[in-house]
């Protein structure tokens, strides 16, 4: 049953990646502002989709991958019961944050390729901002054990960076300047980096080491 469900997902992801690469290949270098915005959005999306693909490969082919390792990785220390409970409580919030980030990235790409207009993009930004704000409230309601307090604050900071990135994007609807998309990119990327730092500790299959 799992394999049957995986094929359509791979097909959809392959279509997105192929479409993104096709758009990227048609850009003229050096890039103007529009081209820079599109390239940044495509690279960001491909990074997110690559992490997802790596996670699937790790979970569906653990034994072949493990067999190729010359030296096995040292075992990670087990989480305590309190740590496991916190990580499990954070997982659905993390899923909402990831989905909102991907939807927002896709919206920016489709906007720059003229596949959607400003009203559609604004709806996506508004929805993502609302999701990030809900995530912040839910995270603040969690009680991490002392050992995870720093990671808790890092994840909270990442969600706030996503909010700042969305708010910067919304400025384009006030003054009509698409340059706000470019300004929003590094803010969101910093948030993604922070989440990865937390993810390698909590969800090792999703964020495998380089």
List the domain boundaries for the chain: 2-202
Q: pTM for this structure?
A: 0.67
Q: Give me the torsion for CA of 203, 54, 93, 153, rounded to 10°.
A: 50
Poorest-pLDDT segment among 39-53, 126-140, 193-207: 39-53
In angstroms, the CA 176 to CA 183 distance is: 14
SS (H, E, C) 155-195: HHHHHHHHHHHHHHHHCHHHHCCCHHHHHHHHHHHHHHHHH
The string of pLDDT tens digits covering residues 37-95 is: 666 666 666 655 555 554 454 445 555 554 455 566 566 778 999 999 999 999 999 99
């Amino acid at each position: 049953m799992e394999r049957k469900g995986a094929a359509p997902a791979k097909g959809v992801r392959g279509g997105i990646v192929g479409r993104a690469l096709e758009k990227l290949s048609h850009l003229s270098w050096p890039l103007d502002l529009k081209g820079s915005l599109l390239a940044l959005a495509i690279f960001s999306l491909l990074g997110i989709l690559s992490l997802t693909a790596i996670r699937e490969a790790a979970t569906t082919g653990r034994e072949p991958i493990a067999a190729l390792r010359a030296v096995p990785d040292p075992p990670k220390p087990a989480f305590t019961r309190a740590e496991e409970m916190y990580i499990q409580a954070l997982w659905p919030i993390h899923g909402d944050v990831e989905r909102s980030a991907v939807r927002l990235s896709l919206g920016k790409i489709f906007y720059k390729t003229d596949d959607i207009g400003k009203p559609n993009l604004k709806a996506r930004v508004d929805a993502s901002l609302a999701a990030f704000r809900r995530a912040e409230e839910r995270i603040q309601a969690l009680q991490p054990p002392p050992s995870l307090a720093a990671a808790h604050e890092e994840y909270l900071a990442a969600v706030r960076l996503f909010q700042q990135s969305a708010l910067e994007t919304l400025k384009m609807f006030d003054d009509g300047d698409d340059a706000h998309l470019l300004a929003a990119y590094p803010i969101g990327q910093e948030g993604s980096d922070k989440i990865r730092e937390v993810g390698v500790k909590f969800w090792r299959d999703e964020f495998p080491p380089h």
